[in-house]
């Protein structure tokens, strides 16, 4: 699995990671989800993303089991829900997440999305305190537009935003207009979630390119969505076979004409 420097940090992070939205919701599905996460770590998908919001903490508990004994191998991200993002609430939310994850720290802690419920200055002040305490190495945001990114940056006094996690798939490339260029100028990593959406775009030109390259359509899509150095992605894969497929998505290079064809089609 290819890893590259994550934003301004210089820390190398797996370009394709593992998302956990909707994991931990079904007790019956958890054994297979756990196997998938562990298999992903084996294959180098060591950027694992979760949130206190997912399954009301159930996804964090599942991730905690998956990384047990292997914490040092993993770049671990979780998020505070905006309703909890007051100064004190952020500190308390992170502490709860650490307990569920069974770890002393996370690598990246994010404000899940923008909300007017708590002043951004209070949230960012809490984020900086989390770094000072050693509860997180880095801080970032999720679902922020350029205006919101600027407000968050202005509220920081000691730390810098390292990443912005956003929706990014072939049928929603809105971030390429403003958010992605802004993040690249400020050396903020862009982590795309839901890269495969519902899979409707896996036919047509994507399928044709996949056949030509002896790859799967999913692999072609993930390859395209991580084509720039600032781009990372965190597809959810609840089954080991999908994890294996995702892990091989960067084992080839799309030709320039392939990139142009996909770009024109979407």
Active-site amino acid positions:
54
Tokens 């799309």 correspond to 254
Tokens of 255: 């030709």
Beta-sheet pairing, 47-49 with 231-233? unpaired
CA distances for 37 relative to 17, 21, 115, angstroms: 10, 13, 31
Instruction: Identify the burial level of 94 via C-beta atoms within 10 angstroms of its C-beta, where 0-12 means exposed, 13-18 middle and 19 or more buried.
Output: buried
Closest to 127 measured CA to CA, from 84, 167, 72, 169:
84
Tokens of 7: 């934003």
Q: Which residues contact 193 (CB under 8 A, 6 or more apart)?
A: 19, 21, 49, 165, 166, 167, 168, 233, 234
Closest to 147 measured CA to CA, from 196, 114, 195:
114
Burial 148-180 (b: 16+ CB within 10 A, else e): bbeebbebbeebebbbbbbebbbeeeebeeebb
């Amino acid at each position: 699995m290819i890893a590259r420097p994550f934003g301004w940090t210089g820390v190398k992070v797996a370009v394709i990671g593992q998302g956990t939205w909707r994991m931990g919701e079904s007790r019956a599905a958890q054994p297979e989800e756990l196997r998938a996460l562990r298999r992903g770590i084996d294959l180098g998908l060591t950027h694992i993303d979760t949130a206190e919001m997912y399954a009301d903490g159930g996804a964090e508990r599942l991730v905690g089991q998956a990384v047990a004994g292997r914490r040092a191998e993993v770049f671990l991200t979780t998020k505070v829900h905006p309703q909890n993002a007051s100064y004190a609430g952020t500190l308390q939310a992170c502490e709860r997440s650490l307990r569920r994850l069974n770890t002393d720290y996370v690598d990246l802690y994010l404000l899940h999305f923008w909300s007017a419920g708590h002043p951004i200055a209070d949230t960012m002040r809490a984020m900086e305190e989390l770094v000072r305490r050693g509860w997180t190495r880095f801080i970032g945001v999720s679902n922020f537009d350029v205006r919101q990114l600027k407000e968050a940056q202005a509220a920081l006094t000691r730390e810098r935003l390292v990443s912005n996690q956003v929706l990014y798939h072939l049928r929603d490339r809105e971030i390429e207009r403003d958010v992605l260029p802004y993040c690249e100028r400020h050396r903020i990593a862009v982590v795309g979630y839901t890269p495969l959406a519902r899979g409707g775009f896996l036919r047509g030109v994507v399928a044709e390119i996949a056949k030509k390259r002896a790859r799967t359509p999913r692999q072609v899509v993930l390859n395209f969505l991580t084509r720039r150095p600032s781009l990372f992605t965190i597809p959810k894969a609840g089954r080991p076979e999908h994890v294996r497929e995702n892990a091989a998505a960067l084992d080839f290079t799309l030709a320039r004409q392939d990139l142009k064809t996909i770009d024109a089609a979407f």
